[in-house]
A = this chain, B = another copy of it.
Amino acid sequence: MGNDRRVGIIGVGCSKFGIRDELTVQELAFEAVKEAIQDAGITREDIELSVAGTAGTRSYELMPAVPINEYCGFAGKGPIRVEAACATGSAAVYTAYASVKAGIADIAIAIGFEKMNEVDTPTSLAVGGRSGSYLWEFHQYGTTFPGYYAMHASAHMARYGTTDKQLALVAVKNHRNAAKNPKAQFQKEISLEKAMSSRYVAYPLRLFDCSAITDGSSAAVIASEEKIKELGIDNAVWIEGVGYSSDTANMPKRTDYAGLKATVEASRMAYQMAGIEDPVKDLDVVALHDCFTIAEIMAYEDLGFCRKGEGGKFIENGDSDFGGKIPVNTFGGLKAKGHPLGATGVAMFYEIVKQLREEAKDLQVDLKTYKGLTHNIGGTGHFGWVFVLGV
C-alpha cells in the first residue's frame, strides 16, 4: 500500500549517557544534534522538520520542544513533540519518517532526549507508575515499573522454569558490551556473582536486573531517496520495515504475563513490510528493549528468535552474544548503556546505523545480510515499535 518513496537515515548522534547535571536539557540535546548533523555532512539550515521526543515528566521543562529546537538551531522547524512513554524515541523517528515518506519534508531530524535526574522528589519518582493507568494501577495499587516487570518475571519463571541465573546473564552480557561503549552510563563489567547477590528491588528482580535513571539524548537525520542522491550520500541506512502496536493499560486485562503482545504484533508488521521471514537468519544485529533483564528474555521469544519459553536458554547458550545466533544489545542495552526515556529509541537507531556502516569499532558484529532491528517498548507493552533497517 501507499507510496514507494524510499526513506533513509543519513546521520546519527548520541550524547554520553549518565548523570548529566552539568547541562540543561537544551545543551544535552544539542550534544546529539551536533554529532548527527556533522555525521550527515549537512548544515542545520538543511533541516526542514524537527520532531522532538521526550517523556518529559522528570524535568523542569514540561514542554521542552520549543527551547530544544531553538537551542539546536531549528526555531522555525519544530512544530511537534511526541511521547510514547519509554518508546518515545521510536515514535519521534516514526513521525519524522512518515513526514518524509509522505513528501511533506525531504529532510527531517528526530531528537530524543530526557533529563531524568533534574526533578527528584517522591512525586516525580512516582511518575513511572503513572505511565500506565493512573486510577487503576498507580493510585489504587501503587505499582511502579520494577513491580510490573517483576510480575512478568514471576510468570515467566513459573511457567517456563526461567532462572535467576539466566536473568543475571543478560545483565552480565550487556555490562560486558557497555564496558567497550564510550557513550555508556556504566562502562564496566559485572560478575555473575555480583549480579546474583545484589539486593532485591522487586522480587524476583534484583538491582542488576534493572536499568538505571539516565540523562541522555540522541538524534537521527532522515531523508528521502531523492534528497540523498542530491546530497551525494552513499552510506544511507534505509528504513525497510516499520511496525507498531499498543496494549491495554489495565494489567488485569492482559491474558498472558509471560510475554508482550505489543512486541509480537509490532514485529510481525515490520517483518511483513521488510520481507523478513526468519529474523535470526535475516538480521545481523538487534537493539532491543531490556529495561529489565526479563524484558530481554521475553523479547527474544516475542521477536521470534526462539520459541516461547526458550528465552532463558537463549541467553545461557550465548545465542545473543557476539558470535552467537544473533548478537543482541551489542552496545550495552538499556541495562548498561542507560535508559533516558525519550532518547532510548533514537539511540537504538544510532547503534544499529553504526553497526550497518561497520563503524562500531570494538563492538562491531560480522555483517552478512546487512540488516538490523530496533525494538522499543513503552511501559509494559503499552506501546511497541519495531523497525527493520538495511543497507
Q: Enumerate chain B residues within 8 angstroms of A94, measured Cβ to Cβ.
A: 79-80
Residue contact A79 to B250, C-beta cutoff 8 Å: no
A contact set with B: CB distance below 8 Å: 1-3, 5, 24, 49, 55, 57, 60-63, 65-67, 69-70, 74-85, 87, 91, 94-95, 97-99, 101-104, 106, 127, 130-135, 139, 224, 242, 244-250, 261-262, 265-266, 379, 382-385
A77 to chain B, nearest CB (A): 7
A95-B95, A246-B76 known; A61+B134 contact, CB < 8 A = yes
Residue contact A79 to B248, C-beta cutoff 8 Å: no
A187 to chain B, nearest CB (A): 31
Residue contact A57 to B62, C-beta cutoff 8 Å: yes
Residue contact A103 to B2, C-beta cutoff 8 Å: yes
Residue contact B2 to A5, C-beta cutoff 8 Å: yes
Residue contact A102 to B2, C-beta cutoff 8 Å: yes
Residue contact A80 to B103, C-beta cutoff 8 Å: no
Q: Enumerate chain B residues within 8 angstroms of A1, measured Cβ to Cβ.
A: 103, 106
A260 to chain B, nearest CB (A): 12
Q: Most B CB atoms within 10 A — which of A1, A81, A98, A262?
A: A98
Residue contact B133 to A67, C-beta cutoff 8 Å: yes
Q: Name the residue of chain B whose CB is nearest to the CB of A131.
A: B63
Q: Enumerate chain B residues within 8 angstroms of A75, measured Cβ to Cβ.
A: 246-248
Q: CA of A41 to CA of B139 in the docked complex: distance in angstroms?
A: 37
Q: Name the residue of chain B whose CB is nearest to the CB of A242.
A: B104
Residue contact B66 to A55, C-beta cutoff 8 Å: no
A97 to chain B, nearest CB (A): 8
Residue contact B265 to A2, C-beta cutoff 8 Å: no
Residue contact A70 to B5, C-beta cutoff 8 Å: no
> Which of these, B66, B131, B132, contacts A382 with CB under 8 Å?
B66
Q: Enumerate chain B residues within 8 angstroms of A85, measured Cβ to Cβ.
A: 63, 66
Residue contact B2 to A104, C-beta cutoff 8 Å: yes
> Which of these, B24, B80, B97, B130, contacts A61 with CB under 8 Å?
B130
A311 to chain B, nearest CB (A): 23
Q: CA of A332 to CA of B80 in the docked complex: distance in angstroms?
A: 26
Q: Name the residue of chain B whose CB is nearest to the CB of A133.
A: B67
Q: CA of A135 to CA of B49 in the docked complex: distance in angstroms?
A: 25
> Which of these, B102, B244, B248, contacts A102 with CB under 8 Å?
B102
Q: CA of A96 to CA of B214 in the docked complex: distance in angstroms?
A: 31
A132-B66, A247-B75 known; A83+B84 contact, CB < 8 A = no
